[in-house]
């Protein structure tokens, strides 16, 4: 009697499992872990390392332009240097999606914002400050690519001709950036195995960290890169007001999130990304919604030609972009984190 009750109960339970919507016997742990591994491997091999390498090359190749400007500060050379520093800053924004916790400091010394323009100008005037060792010893606020952009765009040609130390400072600062990018490259080469093997879940695991980077970057775009300037109508609160290319930096951030989310790197044979992972755990709809929202954000940002001008003349357009970025942020921070069981930011408290 007892055994027949047990057998019947087991049969009822099994029938329930088999008849429920979606099979209980489809994907296993090995499948999930290998998917995570594919995603992380793709990010590392085809995204992060090639992008860092390209950045390193671009920085090295830019050196002669700044050396020429230092030797010969003409309007043409200045224009060329301005265009180059703008391109470098935009290119660097593509690397923001690889800003994992362990390299936070390494990132800050290459590009930091808001920089301390007053101290930087004073330093640039001080001959003893214009050397590699001094720059290396300084905090992030007085060095990096955005600071170079400030010095080149905010100074007139006459200023630069009268104060050649400015250009010397720019050059040493750039050399420092080159050295830091090399260190960053070396760091990731050494960390390759650890990074790729962190294919589980948890705050120290690569996939969770990747999602947290999206959240941080989107929050930064919304709160710091757009709303700070928007609420007071002050373009100096923008990231690159002097060259007026703040919107291009944001565009690059958004495009790099999109590329990383889809694993869509040019050299990838199997572009496995977060979108595929979500589809693999039956959240394909969410993956599509996120992708649609990303496209919407990029399109809205593309419509803004000059953020300086739009902030002052067409606030609604910027507010529209902020709204879309917020919606994208919610989709990642709330919806995606919920289905993935991801912990957003570090909260070391117990739960029950």
Partner 1 sequence: MSWELRLLLRTMTAINQRLFNRTTAITPLVFYRVVFGFLMMASQIRFYLKGWVVDCFFGSNFQFKYQFFEWVQPLQSISQMKLLVLLCAFFAFCIALGFMYRLTSVLFLISFTYLELIEKAWYLNHYYFVSLVAFLLCLMPAHRYFSIDSWLWPKIKQFWVPVWTITSLKVMMSLVYFFAAIAKINPDWMLANQPLKIWLTAQTELPILNVLFSPKLSAALFSYGGFFYDFTIPFLLWNKKTRPYAFVLVVFFHVMTAVLFQIGMFPWIMLMGSLIFVSHEEWAKIFKGNFPFKIEGNLAIKTKTSFVLKGVLALFFLLQIALPLRKYFYNENHLWTERNYRFAWHVMLMEKNGYTEFTVIDSITGRKWKEVPKKRLTEVQNKQMSFQPDMIWEYALYLERIYREEKNVKDPIVYVYNRVSLNGRSSQELVPADMDLTKIKNHTELYNNLVPLKEER
- What's the CA gap between 89 and 111, in Å, rounded? 8
Which lies closer to partner 1 via its Cβ, residue 156 or residue 349?
Answer: 349
- What's the CA gap between 323 and 308, in Å, rounded? 19
Instruction: Report in angstroms how near the CB of residue 226 gets to partner 1 at its nearest.
Output: 11
Q: Which of these ranges, 29-37, 86-94, 181-189, 296-304, lies near partner 1 under the rule CB under 8 A?
A: 29-37
Q: Which of these ranges, 62-70, 177-185, 307-315, 341-349, lies near partner 1 under the rule CB under 8 A?
A: 341-349
- Name which position in 227, 244, 264, 296 contacts partner 1 (CB under 8 A): 227
Best CA proximity match to 43, nearest among 260, 287, 275 = 260
> What is the secondary structure of 59-114 as a DSSP string?
HHHHHHHHHHHHH---HHHHHHHHHHHHHHHHHHHGGGGG--GGGHHHHHTTS-SS
- Name which position in 25, 118, 137, 313 contacts partner 1 (CB under 8 A): 25
Helices (H) and strands (E) in the chain, counts: 18, 0
Q: Is 238 an interacting residue with respect to partner 1 (CB under 8 A)?
A: no
Q: Is 333 an interacting residue with respect to partner 1 (CB under 8 A)?
A: yes
Q: Total residues contacting partner 1 (rule CB under 8 A)?
A: 43
- What's the CA gap between 205 and 231, in Å, rounded? 37
Q: Is 329 an interacting residue with respect to partner 1 (CB under 8 A)?
A: yes
Contact in structure between 297 and 321 (CB atoms under 8 Å): yes
Collapsed DSSP state (helix, strand, coil) of residue 305 = coil
Instruction: Report in angstroms how near the CB of residue 327 gets to partner 1 at its nearest.
Output: 9
* Angle of CA points 100, 103, 106, to nearest 5°: 140
Q: Is 8 an interacting residue with respect to partner 1 (CB under 8 A)?
A: no
Q: Which of these ranges, 13-21, 39-47, 69-77, 165-173, lies near partner 1 under the rule CB under 8 A?
A: 13-21
Q: Is 316 an interacting residue with respect to partner 1 (CB under 8 A)?
A: no
Instruction: Report in angstroms how near the CB of residue 43 gets to partner 1 at its nearest.
Output: 19
Contact in structure between 75 and 157 (CB atoms under 8 Å): yes
Interface residues with partner 1 (CB under 8 A)?
13, 17, 20, 22-29, 32-33, 200-201, 223, 227, 231, 281, 283, 286, 326, 329-331, 333-335, 337-342, 344-352
């Amino acid at each position: 009697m007892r055994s027949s009750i047990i057998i019947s109960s087991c049969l009822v339970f099994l029938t329930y499992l088999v008849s429920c919507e979606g099979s209980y016997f489809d994907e296993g742990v090995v499948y999930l872990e290998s998917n995570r591994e594919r995603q992380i491997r793709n990010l590392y091999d085809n995204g992060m390392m090639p992008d860092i390498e390209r950045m390193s090359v671009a920085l090295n190749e830019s050196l002669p332009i700044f050396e020429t400007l230092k030797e010969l500060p003409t309007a043409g050379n200045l224009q060329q240097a301005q265009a180059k520093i703008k391109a470098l800053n935009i290119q660097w924004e593509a690397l923001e999606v690889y800003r994992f916790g362990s390299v936070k400091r390494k990132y800050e010394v290459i590009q930091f914002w808001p920089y301390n323009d007053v101290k930087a100008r004073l330093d640039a005037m001080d001959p003893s400050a214009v050397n590699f060792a001094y720059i290396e010893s300084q905090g992030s606020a007085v060095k990096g690519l955005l600071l170079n952009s400030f010095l080149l765009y905010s100074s007139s040609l006459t200023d630069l001709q009268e104060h050649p130390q400015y250009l010397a400072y720019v050059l040493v600062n750039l050399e420092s950036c080159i050295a830091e990018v090399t260190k960053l490259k070396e760091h990731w080469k050494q960390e390759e195995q650890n990074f790729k093997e962190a294919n589980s879940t948890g705050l120290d695991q690569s996939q969770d960290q990747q999602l947290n980077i999206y959240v941080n970057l989107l929050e930064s775009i919304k709160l710091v890169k757009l709303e700070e300037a928007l609420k007071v109508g002050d373009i100096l609160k923008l990231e690159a007001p002097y060259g007026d290319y703040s919107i291009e930096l944001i565009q690059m951030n958004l495009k790099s999130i999109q590329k990383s989310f889809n694993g869509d790197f040019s050299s990838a044979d199997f572009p496995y990304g977060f979108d595929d992972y979500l589809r693999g755990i039956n959240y394909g709809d969410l993956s599509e919604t996120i992708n649609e929202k990303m496209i919407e954000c990029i399109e809205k940002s593309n419509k803004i030609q000059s953020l300086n001008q739009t902030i002052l003349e067409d606030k609604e357009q910027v507010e529209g972009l902020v709204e879309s970025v917020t919606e994208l942020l919610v989709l990642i921070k709330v919806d995606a984190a919920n289905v993935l069981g991801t912990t957003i930011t570090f909260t070391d408290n117990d739960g029950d």
